[in-house]
Amino acid sequence: MWELLQIMLLQTNSKIVGIHTFREFFLIFLCRTHVNKSFVF
Q: What is the mean pLDDT of residues 12-30?
A: 90
Distance of alpha carbon 8 from its chain centroid, rounded?
A: 20
pLDDT of residue 39: 64
Q: Is the pLDDT of residue 41 over 60?
A: no
How far is Cα 33 from Cα 41, in angstroms, rounded to an integer? Answer: 12
How far is Cα 2 from Cα 29, in angstroms, rounded to an integer? Answer: 41
Q: Is the pLDDT of residue 21 over 70?
A: yes
Q: Is the pLDDT of residue 33 over 90?
A: no
Q: Is the pLDDT of residue 36 over 70?
A: no
Greatest distance between any 2 Cα atoms in the chain: 61
Mean pLDDT of the chain: 85
DSSP string, 1-41: -HHHHHHHHHHHHHHHHHHHHHHHHHHHHHHHHHHHHHHH-
Q: What is the mean pLDDT of residues 20-28?
A: 91
